Homo-oligomer: A and B are copies of this chain.
Amino acid sequence: MTDTTTTGTDLERRLARLEERTRALEDEREVTRLILSYGPLVDSGSADAVAGLWDADGVYDVDELLMRGRAQIAAMVRSDAHQGWIAGGCAHFVGPPHVTVTGDDATAVSYSLMVTHGDGGFALRRATANHWTLHRADSGWRIVTRTARVLDGRPESPALLASGVCAPVASGERA
């Protein structure tokens, strides 16, 4: 296949490059998986597990409520309001995140839908723009900040979406 003599150094270099590429894929997969665990944990009322997705001093900033640190996040899950959603039927449906990993830091953008059940069946209570920043801790990736803004026309919500997704490099003509 190769017409040059393959030396140990060549193999070593290719192996090191592959290790980097595999690590990049694994990091993106771990960040995605962490984000996707939010819905199942919050909709099952797993308060400590939800809080454990964040760094010890992580921030969860929703337009309706600002939470600082794990105790406040767990308290939200245990609140009467949230327990009421679970009792009535509720889905925090988080869409596939668009993740960007840079070393030990990552950002992600995703949509989420909050679907609630009531007498009239299911209703779409919220459609939300989410911007996540994450950091690699000793025990794995954790959320540093999650900023969530409802997409009800307020300008900060589209801005949040744009802030986390870069346009691909333009090639040739532009629109």
List chain A positions with a Cβ less than 8 A from chain B: 1-2, 6, 8-9, 11-16, 18-19, 21-22, 25-26, 28-29, 32-34, 36-37, 39-41, 43-49, 51-53, 56, 69-71, 73-75, 86-91, 93-99, 109, 111, 113, 115, 117, 121-127, 129, 137-140, 142, 150-154, 157-159, 161-162, 164-165, 167-175
| Nearest chain B residue, comparing its CB with the CB of A42 | B161
- By a CB distance below 8 angstroms, the chain B residues around A140 are 168-169
Q: Is the interface of A mostly helix, strand, loop or mixed?
A: mixed
- By a CB distance below 8 angstroms, the chain B residues around A36 are 96-98
Expressed in whole angstroms, the minimum distance between the Cβ of A150 and any Cβ of chain B is 8
| Cβ–Cβ contact B46 & A162, under 8 A | yes
- By a CB distance below 8 angstroms, the chain B residues around A37 are 98, 165, 167-168
Partner of A172 from the list B56, B158, B168 (CB cut-off 8 Å) is B56
| Cβ–Cβ contact B16 & A18, under 8 A | no
Can you list 28 pairs linking A and B with CB atoms under 8 Å apart? A1-B13, A6-B8, A6-B9, A8-B8, A14-B15, A18-B22, A21-B26, A25-B26, A28-B29, A36-B97, A39-B161, A40-B98, A40-B129, A40-B161, A40-B162, A41-B161, A46-B167, A49-B165, A51-B175, A52-B174, A56-B172, A70-B174, A71-B175, A89-B151, A90-B151, A117-B151, A137-B171, A142-B171
Most chain B CB inside 10 Å of its own CB: which residue of A25, A36, A86, A126: A36
Give A20 to B11 CA distance when docked, in angstroms. 15
